[in-house]
Amino acid sequence: MTSEVYVGIDVSKRWLEVRVHGAAESQKVGNDADGHRELVEKMSVVGPQLIVFEATGGYERGAVSMLSASGYAVAVANPTRVRRFAEALGILAKTDKIDAQVIAHFASVVQPTVNGRQTPLEEQLAAIVERRRQLLVGLVAEKNRLSTCPACVREGIEAHIAWIEAEVESLEIQIQSCIQQKPEWRQRAEIIDSAPGVGPVTASTLVAELPELGQLSHKEIAALVGVAPFNKDSGPKRGKRRISGGRSGIRRTLYMAALSAIKHNPVIRAFYENLLLRGKEKKVAIVACMRKLLVFINAMVRKGEVWRYSPA
Protein backbone atom coordinates (compact mmCIF):
# COMPACT_ATOMS: atom_id res chain seq x y z
CA MET A 1 0.00 0.00 0.00
CA THR A 2 1.53 3.32 -1.07
CA SER A 3 1.40 6.28 1.29
CA GLU A 4 -0.45 9.40 0.22
CA VAL A 5 1.71 12.28 -1.01
CA TYR A 6 0.92 15.91 -0.21
CA VAL A 7 2.58 18.91 -1.81
CA GLY A 8 2.71 22.50 -0.57
CA ILE A 9 3.57 25.38 -2.89
CA ASP A 10 4.54 28.85 -1.71
CA VAL A 11 3.87 31.47 -4.38
CA SER A 12 5.61 34.71 -5.25
CA LYS A 13 5.43 36.86 -8.35
CA ARG A 14 8.46 35.21 -9.98
CA TRP A 15 8.89 31.85 -8.25
CA LEU A 16 7.08 28.78 -6.92
CA GLU A 17 8.67 27.03 -3.94
CA VAL A 18 7.54 23.39 -4.10
CA ARG A 19 7.77 21.05 -1.10
CA VAL A 20 6.62 17.45 -0.80
CA HIS A 21 5.53 16.71 2.75
CA GLY A 22 8.28 14.70 4.44
CA ALA A 23 10.94 15.56 1.85
CA ALA A 24 14.25 16.97 3.06
CA GLU A 25 14.35 19.89 0.63
CA SER A 26 12.07 21.99 -1.52
CA GLN A 27 12.44 22.76 -5.23
CA LYS A 28 12.00 26.08 -7.01
CA VAL A 29 10.44 26.65 -10.43
CA GLY A 30 9.55 29.83 -12.25
CA ASN A 31 6.06 31.28 -11.92
CA ASP A 32 5.57 31.50 -15.67
CA ALA A 33 4.40 29.24 -18.49
CA ASP A 34 7.71 27.35 -18.70
CA GLY A 35 7.83 26.94 -14.93
CA HIS A 36 4.25 25.68 -14.85
CA ARG A 37 5.06 23.03 -17.45
CA GLU A 38 8.11 22.03 -15.43
CA LEU A 39 5.91 21.81 -12.33
CA VAL A 40 3.49 19.47 -14.09
CA GLU A 41 6.41 17.23 -15.10
CA LYS A 42 7.65 17.11 -11.50
CA MET A 43 4.18 16.24 -10.22
CA SER A 44 3.94 13.37 -12.72
CA VAL A 45 6.91 11.81 -10.95
CA VAL A 46 5.67 12.56 -7.42
CA GLY A 47 2.05 11.48 -7.95
CA PRO A 48 0.50 13.70 -5.25
CA GLN A 49 -2.81 13.02 -3.53
CA LEU A 50 -3.31 16.76 -3.05
CA ILE A 51 -1.45 19.94 -4.02
CA VAL A 52 -2.09 23.01 -1.87
CA PHE A 53 -1.26 26.62 -2.71
CA GLU A 54 -1.53 29.60 -0.42
CA ALA A 55 -3.73 32.34 -1.91
CA THR A 56 -1.55 35.26 -3.02
CA GLY A 57 -3.87 37.70 -4.75
CA GLY A 58 -3.88 35.93 -8.09
CA TYR A 59 -0.20 35.00 -8.62
CA GLU A 60 -1.14 31.36 -8.08
CA ARG A 61 -3.82 31.22 -10.78
CA GLY A 62 -1.68 30.16 -13.73
CA ALA A 63 -0.09 27.23 -11.90
CA VAL A 64 -3.41 26.19 -10.33
CA SER A 65 -5.13 26.25 -13.72
CA MET A 66 -2.43 24.16 -15.43
CA LEU A 67 -2.26 21.57 -12.65
CA SER A 68 -6.05 21.27 -12.52
CA ALA A 69 -6.19 20.88 -16.30
CA SER A 70 -3.59 18.10 -15.98
CA GLY A 71 -5.90 16.20 -13.65
CA TYR A 72 -4.33 16.93 -10.25
CA ALA A 73 -6.35 17.66 -7.11
CA VAL A 74 -5.53 21.25 -6.23
CA ALA A 75 -6.68 23.44 -3.33
CA VAL A 76 -6.01 27.12 -2.60
CA ALA A 77 -5.80 27.76 1.14
CA ASN A 78 -6.57 30.92 3.07
CA PRO A 79 -3.17 32.34 4.13
CA THR A 80 -4.51 33.23 7.58
CA ARG A 81 -5.36 29.58 8.25
CA VAL A 82 -1.91 28.48 7.14
CA ARG A 83 -0.23 31.12 9.33
CA ARG A 84 -2.27 30.07 12.38
CA PHE A 85 -1.33 26.45 11.65
CA ALA A 86 2.36 27.41 11.61
CA GLU A 87 2.01 29.30 14.89
CA ALA A 88 0.31 26.28 16.47
CA LEU A 89 3.37 24.24 15.49
CA GLY A 90 5.65 26.87 17.03
CA ILE A 91 7.01 27.96 13.64
CA LEU A 92 7.38 31.73 13.80
CA ALA A 93 10.07 32.24 11.15
CA LYS A 94 8.89 32.97 7.63
CA THR A 95 10.84 32.26 4.43
CA ASP A 96 9.77 30.78 1.11
CA LYS A 97 11.23 27.38 2.02
CA ILE A 98 9.67 27.37 5.49
CA ASP A 99 6.32 28.48 4.10
CA ALA A 100 6.33 25.68 1.50
CA GLN A 101 7.13 23.17 4.24
CA VAL A 102 4.29 24.49 6.41
CA ILE A 103 1.82 24.43 3.51
CA ALA A 104 2.76 20.81 2.73
CA HIS A 105 2.25 19.85 6.39
CA PHE A 106 -1.04 21.79 6.40
CA ALA A 107 -2.13 19.86 3.30
CA SER A 108 -1.46 16.50 4.96
CA VAL A 109 -3.28 17.36 8.19
CA VAL A 110 -6.17 19.63 7.15
CA GLN A 111 -6.68 18.31 3.59
CA PRO A 112 -8.61 21.39 2.40
CA THR A 113 -11.40 21.07 -0.13
CA VAL A 114 -10.24 20.65 -3.71
CA ASN A 115 -11.01 23.53 -6.05
CA GLY A 116 -13.56 22.76 -8.71
CA ARG A 117 -12.03 22.94 -12.17
CA GLN A 118 -13.33 25.94 -14.10
CA THR A 119 -14.13 25.94 -17.80
CA PRO A 120 -12.78 28.85 -19.89
CA LEU A 121 -16.24 30.44 -19.86
CA GLU A 122 -16.44 30.15 -16.06
CA GLU A 123 -12.99 31.73 -15.72
CA GLN A 124 -14.05 34.53 -18.06
CA LEU A 125 -17.23 35.27 -16.12
CA ALA A 126 -15.44 35.23 -12.76
CA ALA A 127 -12.73 37.57 -14.08
CA ILE A 128 -15.25 40.06 -15.49
CA VAL A 129 -17.29 40.07 -12.26
CA GLU A 130 -14.13 40.66 -10.22
CA ARG A 131 -13.00 43.45 -12.54
CA ARG A 132 -16.38 45.14 -12.19
CA ARG A 133 -16.03 44.97 -8.41
CA GLN A 134 -12.56 46.53 -8.58
CA LEU A 135 -13.79 49.39 -10.74
CA LEU A 136 -16.70 50.09 -8.38
CA VAL A 137 -14.24 50.44 -5.48
CA GLY A 138 -12.29 52.95 -7.56
CA LEU A 139 -15.48 54.76 -8.53
CA VAL A 140 -16.48 55.30 -4.91
CA ALA A 141 -12.98 56.59 -4.12
CA GLU A 142 -13.02 59.05 -7.02
CA LYS A 143 -16.48 60.35 -6.11
CA ASN A 144 -15.29 60.91 -2.55
CA ARG A 145 -12.27 62.83 -3.85
CA LEU A 146 -14.50 64.93 -6.09
CA SER A 147 -16.42 66.28 -3.10
CA THR A 148 -13.29 67.84 -1.56
CA CYS A 149 -10.88 68.35 -4.46
CA PRO A 150 -9.47 71.73 -5.60
CA ALA A 151 -10.92 73.16 -8.80
CA CYS A 152 -7.66 72.59 -10.67
CA VAL A 153 -8.05 68.77 -10.59
CA ARG A 154 -11.85 68.52 -10.75
CA GLU A 155 -12.03 68.14 -14.52
CA GLY A 156 -9.61 65.21 -14.50
CA ILE A 157 -11.47 63.41 -11.71
CA GLU A 158 -14.81 63.93 -13.48
CA ALA A 159 -13.33 62.50 -16.69
CA HIS A 160 -12.02 59.49 -14.78
CA ILE A 161 -15.41 58.93 -13.14
CA ALA A 162 -17.08 59.03 -16.56
CA TRP A 163 -14.54 56.51 -17.89
CA ILE A 164 -15.06 54.13 -14.96
CA GLU A 165 -18.86 54.32 -15.32
CA ALA A 166 -18.58 53.53 -19.03
CA GLU A 167 -16.26 50.59 -18.28
CA VAL A 168 -18.65 49.24 -15.62
CA GLU A 169 -21.54 49.46 -18.10
CA SER A 170 -19.48 47.61 -20.72
CA LEU A 171 -18.54 44.89 -18.21
CA GLU A 172 -22.17 44.43 -17.19
CA ILE A 173 -23.06 43.82 -20.85
CA GLN A 174 -20.24 41.26 -21.07
CA ILE A 175 -21.45 39.55 -17.88
CA GLN A 176 -24.96 39.18 -19.26
CA SER A 177 -23.52 37.90 -22.55
CA CYS A 178 -21.56 35.20 -20.70
CA ILE A 179 -24.60 34.13 -18.69
CA GLN A 180 -26.75 33.90 -21.81
CA GLN A 181 -24.28 31.45 -23.37
CA LYS A 182 -25.06 28.75 -20.80
CA PRO A 183 -28.74 27.75 -20.31
CA GLU A 184 -28.07 26.55 -16.74
CA TRP A 185 -26.61 29.94 -15.80
CA ARG A 186 -29.43 31.78 -17.53
CA GLN A 187 -32.04 29.80 -15.62
CA ARG A 188 -30.19 30.25 -12.31
CA ALA A 189 -29.84 34.00 -12.84
CA GLU A 190 -33.56 34.30 -13.60
CA ILE A 191 -34.43 32.41 -10.40
CA ILE A 192 -32.14 34.56 -8.24
CA ASP A 193 -33.29 37.79 -9.90
CA SER A 194 -36.93 36.93 -9.15
CA ALA A 195 -36.44 37.59 -5.42
CA PRO A 196 -37.68 41.10 -4.54
CA GLY A 197 -34.74 43.35 -3.74
CA VAL A 198 -32.29 41.26 -5.76
CA GLY A 199 -31.10 42.61 -9.09
CA PRO A 200 -28.99 41.49 -12.05
CA VAL A 201 -25.70 42.40 -10.32
CA THR A 202 -26.38 40.13 -7.34
CA ALA A 203 -27.67 37.39 -9.64
CA SER A 204 -24.60 37.48 -11.89
CA THR A 205 -22.23 37.58 -8.90
CA LEU A 206 -23.84 34.52 -7.31
CA VAL A 207 -23.82 32.65 -10.61
CA ALA A 208 -20.13 33.42 -11.15
CA GLU A 209 -18.75 33.06 -7.63
CA LEU A 210 -21.08 30.63 -5.86
CA PRO A 211 -21.50 27.54 -8.07
CA GLU A 212 -22.33 25.55 -4.90
CA LEU A 213 -25.66 27.38 -4.69
CA GLY A 214 -28.53 24.88 -4.51
CA GLN A 215 -26.21 21.96 -3.72
CA LEU A 216 -25.58 22.63 -0.01
CA SER A 217 -27.77 22.86 3.09
CA HIS A 218 -28.72 26.29 4.43
CA LYS A 219 -26.10 26.00 7.19
CA GLU A 220 -23.36 24.92 4.79
CA ILE A 221 -24.05 27.69 2.26
CA ALA A 222 -24.15 30.34 5.02
CA ALA A 223 -20.82 29.13 6.42
CA LEU A 224 -19.26 28.98 2.94
CA VAL A 225 -20.16 32.61 2.21
CA GLY A 226 -19.24 33.74 5.72
CA VAL A 227 -22.61 34.91 7.07
CA ALA A 228 -23.02 32.18 9.68
CA PRO A 229 -22.33 33.50 13.22
CA PHE A 230 -19.83 31.51 15.26
CA ASN A 231 -20.05 30.98 19.03
CA LYS A 232 -17.44 32.50 21.31
CA ASP A 233 -18.21 30.96 24.70
CA SER A 234 -15.94 29.92 27.54
CA GLY A 235 -17.29 28.45 30.78
CA PRO A 236 -20.13 30.65 32.01
CA LYS A 237 -19.13 33.47 29.67
CA ARG A 238 -21.24 33.92 26.55
CA GLY A 239 -19.47 36.04 23.95
CA LYS A 240 -21.00 37.82 21.00
CA ARG A 241 -21.64 35.71 17.92
CA ARG A 242 -19.60 36.96 14.98
CA ILE A 243 -19.25 36.08 11.32
CA SER A 244 -15.82 35.21 10.01
CA GLY A 245 -14.08 33.99 6.86
CA GLY A 246 -16.03 33.02 3.78
CA ARG A 247 -16.11 34.73 0.39
CA SER A 248 -15.82 38.43 0.98
CA GLY A 249 -16.82 39.46 -2.55
CA ILE A 250 -20.12 37.62 -2.31
CA ARG A 251 -20.66 38.98 1.19
CA ARG A 252 -20.28 42.58 -0.02
CA THR A 253 -22.77 41.96 -2.80
CA LEU A 254 -25.21 40.29 -0.41
CA TYR A 255 -24.94 43.26 1.95
CA MET A 256 -26.20 45.66 -0.73
CA ALA A 257 -28.88 43.16 -1.78
CA ALA A 258 -30.06 42.85 1.84
CA LEU A 259 -30.37 46.64 2.16
CA SER A 260 -32.51 46.68 -0.97
CA ALA A 261 -34.54 43.65 0.20
CA ILE A 262 -35.29 45.34 3.55
CA LYS A 263 -37.06 48.06 1.54
CA HIS A 264 -38.68 46.03 -1.23
CA ASN A 265 -39.02 42.43 -0.02
CA PRO A 266 -41.95 42.00 2.41
CA VAL A 267 -40.52 38.82 3.97
CA ILE A 268 -37.07 40.28 4.60
CA ARG A 269 -38.54 43.60 5.76
CA ALA A 270 -40.79 41.88 8.31
CA PHE A 271 -37.87 39.76 9.50
CA TYR A 272 -35.65 42.85 9.88
CA GLU A 273 -38.28 44.84 11.77
CA ASN A 274 -38.92 41.92 14.12
CA LEU A 275 -35.20 41.73 14.92
CA LEU A 276 -35.12 45.43 15.75
CA LEU A 277 -38.16 45.05 18.01
CA ARG A 278 -36.28 42.29 19.85
CA GLY A 279 -33.46 44.74 20.55
CA LYS A 280 -30.95 43.62 17.93
CA GLU A 281 -28.47 46.20 16.63
CA LYS A 282 -29.06 47.35 13.06
CA LYS A 283 -25.80 45.88 11.78
CA VAL A 284 -26.59 42.54 13.41
CA ALA A 285 -30.07 42.61 11.88
CA ILE A 286 -28.69 43.38 8.42
CA VAL A 287 -26.27 40.43 8.61
CA ALA A 288 -29.17 38.20 9.68
CA CYS A 289 -31.11 39.45 6.63
CA MET A 290 -28.14 38.64 4.41
CA ARG A 291 -28.15 35.10 5.75
CA LYS A 292 -31.93 34.71 5.40
CA LEU A 293 -31.89 36.06 1.84
CA LEU A 294 -29.07 33.67 0.92
CA VAL A 295 -30.92 30.73 2.46
CA PHE A 296 -34.08 31.60 0.50
CA ILE A 297 -32.11 31.89 -2.76
CA ASN A 298 -30.32 28.61 -2.07
CA ALA A 299 -33.67 26.85 -1.60
CA MET A 300 -35.07 28.45 -4.76
CA VAL A 301 -32.13 27.30 -6.87
CA ARG A 302 -32.27 23.79 -5.39
CA LYS A 303 -35.98 23.49 -6.26
CA GLY A 304 -35.63 25.32 -9.58
CA GLU A 305 -38.44 27.69 -8.58
CA VAL A 306 -38.74 31.48 -8.69
CA TRP A 307 -39.63 33.54 -5.60
CA ARG A 308 -43.01 32.50 -4.16
CA TYR A 309 -42.64 33.44 -0.52
CA SER A 310 -45.17 35.63 1.21
CA PRO A 311 -45.22 37.14 4.73
CA ALA A 312 -46.42 34.77 7.44
**Portion of the chain with pLDDT greater than 90, in percent:** 65
Q: How far apart are CA 245 and CA 230, in angstroms?
A: 10
**Portion of the chain with pLDDT greater than 70, in percent:** 92
pLDDT of 1:
34
Mean pLDDT of the chain: 88
Q: How far apart are CA 221 and CA 208, in angstroms?
A: 15
pLDDT of 193:
93
C-alpha count within 13 angstroms, C-beta hemisphere, residue 1: 2
pLDDT band, very low/low/confident/very high, at 209 (cuts 50, 70, 90): confident
272, 255, 239: which is closest to 201 by C-alpha?
255
Asked if residues 97 and 11 have their Cβ atoms less than 8 Å apart, the reply is no
Asked if residues 175 and 128 have their Cβ atoms less than 8 Å apart, the reply is yes
3-state secondary structure string, the chain? CCCCCEEEEEECCCEEEEEECCCCCCEEEECCHHHHHHHHHHHHHHCCCEEEEECCCCCCHHHHHHHHHCCCCEEEECHHHHHHHHHHCCCCCCCHHHHHHHHHHHHHHHCCCCCCCCCHHHHHHHHHHHHHHHHHHHHHHHHHHHCCCCHHHHHHHHHHHHHHHHHHHHHHHHHHHHHHCCHHHHHHHHHHHCCCCCCHHHHHHHHHHCCCCCCCCHHHHHHHHCCCCECCEECCEECCCECCCCCHHHHHHHHHHHHHHHHHCHHHHHHHHHHHHCCCCHHHHHHHHHHHHHHHHHHHHHHCCCCCCCCC
Q: Which amino acid is at 276?
A: L
pLDDT of 149:
92
pLDDT of 139:
95
| pLDDT tens digits, one per residue of 289-307 | 999 999 999 999 999 998 8
Model pTM?
0.72
pLDDT of 241:
56
Chain Cα centroid distance, residue 188 = 19
pLDDT of 18:
95
| pLDDT tens digits, one per residue of 144-177 | 999 899 999 999 999 999 999 999 999 999 999 9
pLDDT band, very low/low/confident/very high, at 117 (cuts 50, 70, 90): confident
pLDDT band, very low/low/confident/very high, at 312 (cuts 50, 70, 90): very low
pLDDT of 308:
79
pLDDT higher than threshold 60 for residue 242? no
Between 34-48, 117-131, 226-240, the lowest mean confidence (pLDDT) is in 226-240
pLDDT of 167:
97
pLDDT band, very low/low/confident/very high, at 310 (cuts 50, 70, 90): low
Q: How far apart are CA 22 and CA 6, in angstroms?
A: 9
Q: What is the mean pLDDT of residues 129-133?
A: 91
> Which of 57 and 99 is assigned the larger pLDDT?
99
Q: What is the mean pLDDT of residues 99-119?
A: 88
